[in-house]
Structure 1
C-alpha cells in the first residue's frame, strides 16, 4: 500500500481569500490558488479541478502503459489531457464531466484492440474508480 499527502493553508474568506497548496514531494510548494484562479481567468494560480485533471490524466496514462505491456503491445509515446468541467448546481457546484483525450504511438496492434486496451485502462485506473460519482467520464483515444 502507498499513501501520498498534500496540504493546503488558507487565509481569508471565500472570494477574497487565498490558499497555498503543497505536496509531500515538493512538486507543488506553497502554490497559490483562490477564487480568481478557479472561477475567473487568473493564470497566476491553480485550482482543484486543474489538479484533479492532471492527476486523472497521469493515472490513466500509467494504467494504459501497464495495460499495453500486459497485452504484449509496445507504446513508445502516450500523451493525455483531461478537461474537468465544474458546473453550477443549485447553490453550489459539481464536477459533472471529465473528458480524457489520449494520443498514443504503438506498433503491432489494430484500432479495435487499441480501443479495448484504452477503455480497460480507463475503467481500471484508480482515479477513474475514485471518480465514479462523476456522471460523465469520456475517453477519446487516437492511435498514431
Structure 2
C-alpha cells in the first residue's frame, strides 16, 4: 500500500490538464503493479488527524491478522469494520440495517464479540438493558487496525 499526502497547491491548484493526466496515469500504473494507492489531503492530516487514522484503520482492517484464541468470522469482521466506520458506540439496529440481519442475530453477534473481548456492552440510562456496544480500542491497536 502506498499512502500519499497531497497538498492543495501542488496537486490541484497548480495542476494543468497534462499534469492531471500524468498524475492519474502514475496512480493507475502503481495499481497495475499491485500497489494500492491511498491519498490524503494535507489539510486533513494537519487539522483532522483522527479522521485519517480512522480511515487508515478501515483500509488496513482488510489485511489484519486474526488471533487463534478468538477467531473471527466474516460477520464479526464486518461488525468491527462497521463500528470503526461509525466511530461511535454501535447499536444492534446498526448491525441489522448494514448487514441485513434480523434483530436476534445482530444481538447474538454483538454478545459473541463481547465475549471475545472486542466490544464492551453499554447499559441504558436505567441500567436495565444493553442498548449499545463500545469497540475496545486495545484490540484494534493489537492488530494494527
TM-score relative to the length of structure 2: 0.34
More RCO (CA 8 Å, sep 6+): 2
More strand as a share of residues: 1
Q: Which has the larger radius of gyration?
A: 2
